[in-house]
Structure 1
Amino acid sequence: MSTLAPPRPAATRATATAGLRGPARAVVRQHRRTFQLLILVVVLAVVGLVAVALWVGHDAGLFASTGCQVGDDSPSHACAQSVRDYMDSQLRLRAGRSWAELLLVLLPAAYGVFMAGPAIGRELESGTHRLAWTQSVSPARWLTAKLAVPTVAAVAATLVLKAVTVWAAGRSEQYEEGWYFDGLHSTSGVLPLAYALFALAVGTLAGLLLRSTLRSMAVAAVIQGIAVYGFSRVRIHLWPAVTATYGSSRIDDFHPDRWVVDSGYLTGTGERLPFGTCAGAGDSGDTCLDALGVTGRYVDYHPESHRWPLQLVESGILLAAAALAVFVAYRLLRRLHA
């Protein structure tokens, strides 16, 4: 008489169903070293930034208890050394945030290189993808798993690192940069996520098109670099600027938190002259401006309220390009492997 194996407990079945299965599980196992490296990098960055922020916060508390002010830094003042120590401490926090912001810029490029090379290009180049396709896994399902698992990991890593960077920025009291600085702007808001998704999509398409590990990785890195550099040059023009006019050729009340797009002189007829007009006239510069009929100044600028419109336009372009790359990747895969 045969003996039937007892059914597995319901809890065991639920655990197995809740876990990763099929191609997604295979992707995690195949690239577990890469995912572990990503976790390690993010954890080290988070721990380092949190430690620096807490240290600087402690120093700020000690400085506040002395009753000294930041302006009391003349060599003869009793607070000079305390002020210098406090400012040095704040500078360490600024440096820590700069490293975290640099990591937010570099990680998307790493995502794109990973997708183009180890995740897609290497498998197509070596032919190991056929093994998955012969085990009841369609090409579309294979590509979906290849995209979904790294996307979840990249989004989680970006959100964690971004949240800690924002928290550290809230503890900074000195050395604040303008909101429009390239490093700060490109790592604030939703842009880090947009760049990460763009890099993943472009890397996937590069791997499918080139089917070569090294060439795909190089192309993905170059495209990501072009995107970062290109937007740093044109993002100032992604939203209409505000124009301020002044009745004098000098400006005394311009706010430093405004991102200047263009500035120059206005003539009585409303004509705009470049800011460098009469720059070589020396002491007779005012005479030169009067001779040209200059009656005032103009400044085209972005106020801080334009931060989110600029962010959303740039993010929208990146996400649209990412969606197009993913669409082309699936169409290409379907055409080559119907």
Structure 2
Amino acid sequence: MSTTAPVRLPRTVLRLHRTALIVWGAFVAGLTGWLVWLNEVTVDAVRAAQARCSSTSWGCIDVIEFLDYSEPTGYVGALTCYSFLAVAAFTGGSLIGRELESGTARLAWTQGVTPARWLAAKLAVPALVLTAGGTALVLVFRWGWAANRDLMGDNWAFADVFVARGPATVAYALCALAVGALTALLLRRALPALAVSVAAMWLLNAVLERHRARLWPAETRTSPKPFELPYDVWRLEWGRTGTGHRATYHPASHFWPLHLVETGIVLAVAALATAAAFAVLRRRTA
């Protein structure tokens, strides 16, 4: 391979995985188009139905809202949130695992590409693509989720909405990329690496979701008389005490502190996994 190989390496990565690039682009475009359709077309039909049903007493608008507008918007949020599982599967199984298993990686290392440069390109190119696509999805979902809040049934604290509305979407994708690479380098088999990568990312997300409410101090309100909290709070505890009523909750203003702390944790895991991947590669190729 010529001395221009390092320059051509990113292009080679894109060419080898162009199918994955096309699928990712179609995924981003499809979800974007779906949200635009919901907020530019479907919402008009829902509003018209709301006007027709305003004089009835049997609540038909509730069914229309959830089935025609709120539910599909929730599906977009779920797909955006958990797209990192597909990234983990792709990285562990195809991007890194298959090339190690087939020997393609070692062939590249004998043609003027050092192992470190090879791994750097394998991670940097998808990272840029994932960051661009993930950012676009977050921006579009934030717009779609906020456009018609009176027709939505989900709260900002819902697991998928919480992730899909901010940079944690990109952080989870980058973490999945790093974890997938580390797993593939450790196992050197595509299918086992795919399975372990997905399981590891699912576990990380499950643990953070379970402890999410503890990532930022919650607020507590007490009163000798019953009281109501705003509709957009995240209720953690609600009950009576010896002197009255007590509620522990996160107000809507806590979204960004909670979200950014979780994003930081996920990015820290991504950085550690990336460093470990390069360390494993150096040891295996020394």
- TM-score if structure 2 supplies the norm length? 0.89
Q: Give the match for residue 152 of structure 2.
A: 175
Aligned counterparts of 1:57 and 1:296: Cα–Cα separation in 2: 43
Aligned match of 1:216 = 193
1:107 aligned onto 2:83:
yes
C-alpha separation in 2, matches of 1:108 and 1:324: 17
What is the alpha-carbon distance in structure 2 between the residues aligned to residue 216 and residue 21 of structure 1? Answer: 29
1:29 is the counterpart of 2:27: no
Matched, 1:335 2:283: yes
Q: Which letter maps to 2:204?
A: A
Q: Relative to structure 1, is the Cα distance of residues 63 and 175 closer, same or farther in structure 2, using a 3 angstrom cutoff?
A: same
Q: CA deviation at 1:85?
A: 6.5
Shift, 1:115, TM fit: 1.0
| Whole-angstrom CA distance in 1 between matches of 2:105 and 2:188 | 11
Displacement after TM superposition at 1:23 (Å): 1.3
**Contact 2:65/2:151 (CA < 8 Å) preserved in 1?**
no
Distance 2:251 2:61 in 1: 34
Percent of aligned pairs with the same amino acid: 37
Alignment of 1:19-168 (within 5 A): 21-59=7-45, 62=48, 68=51, 71-74=54-57, 84=60, 88=64, 91-168=67-144
- RMSD across aligned positions (CA): 2.4
Q: Which of these residues, 268, 271, 278, is aligned with residue 323 of structure 1?
A: 271
Aligned pair count? Answer: 281
Post-superposition shift, 1:258?
A: 2.0
Partner of 1:228: 205
Matched, 1:196 2:146: no
Deviation for aligned residue 1:305: 1.3
The Cα of 1:38 is off from its aligned counterpart by 1.5
> 2:138·2:167 contact (CA, 8 Å) conserved in 1?
no
Find the aligned partners of 1:296 and 1:201 in 2 and give their Cα distance: 50
Report the secondary structure of 1:243's partner residue.
strand
Q: Which has the larger radius of gyration?
A: 1
Specify the alignment match of 1:310 in structure 2.
Answer: 258
The alpha-carbon distance between structure 1 residues 85 and 241, as it changes in their structure 2 partners (threshold 3 A), is closer
Unaligned runs of 5+ in 1: 1-16, 76-82, 267-293
Which amino acid counterpart does residue 81 of structure 2 have in structure 1? V
Residues 89/255 of structure 1: CA separation in 2 closer, same or farther (3 Å cut): closer
Query: What amino acid sits opposite 1:32 in the alignment?
Result: R
Query: Is the 2:183–2:196 Cα contact (8 Å) retained in structure 1?
Result: yes
Q: Could you tell me which of 255, 261, 265 is aligned with 2:240?
A: 265
Matched residue type, 2:29: V
The aligned residue for residue 206 of structure 1 is 183
Q: Which amino acid aligns with 1:233?
A: R
Return the TM-score normalized by structure 1.
0.76
Q: CA deviation at 1:264?
A: 3.5
Q: Is the 8 A contact 1:56 1:90 kept in 2?
A: no
- Distance 1:170-1:258 versus aligned 2 partners, 3 A rule: closer
Q: CA deviation at 1:255?
A: 2.3
**Equivalent residue, structure 2, for 1:284:** none
Q: Contact 1:100/1:161 (CA < 8 Å) preserved in 2? A: no
Is the partner of 1:53 in helix, strand or coil? helix
Uncovered stretches (5+) of structure 2, i.e. residues with no partner: none
Task: Return the alpha-carbon distance in structure 2 between the equivalents of residues 331 and 34 of structure 1.
Answer: 27
Question: Aligned AA for 2:119?
Answer: L
